Structure 1
Amino acid sequence: MPLTMVTVGEEKTIVDYRGKEEVKKHLTNLGFLKGETVQVLGSNQSGLILLVKGVRIALNKGLATKIVVA
């Protein structure tokens, strides 16, 4: 499922990315690696606040939909 479908407070594991190679590279540079745990800390109309590797990161929903979690 896309990361945007995860409810606030829930933890999921990153399993894949969608999109062009440059998008995938950008996500891996931010720390969104396959097998890594990601937690949704907050959500609003424009994006998500996430916790990855102990770091809070804000992503817009367009980019968050590219991350597939399980």
Structure 2
Amino acid sequence: MTDQRPIQELNMPSGDSINNSQQVTVHMGALINQNSALRQQNTHLFQELDTLRLEIAQQQINYDQLLQ
């Protein structure tokens, strides 16, 4: 489980600045990984949206042809 303390608290000197620095580095790494995963998910969702838009357009064409 990640440390949920505010960044300010993580950066405050506590007698072990190396440990604090390592914690911040770990948290930053976790945030970077989470950001990367969310970007990948976002890309996938946009691709899915494009596919659905094409399907809707094709269905509209088919429907219009049926009405003629």
Query: What TM-score do the two structures reach when normalised by structure 1?
Result: 0.21
Query: What TM-score do the two structures reach when normalised by structure 2?
Result: 0.21
Structure with higher helix content? 2
Which one has a bigger Cα radius of gyration? 2
The structure with higher relative contact order (CA 8 Å, sep 6+) is: 1
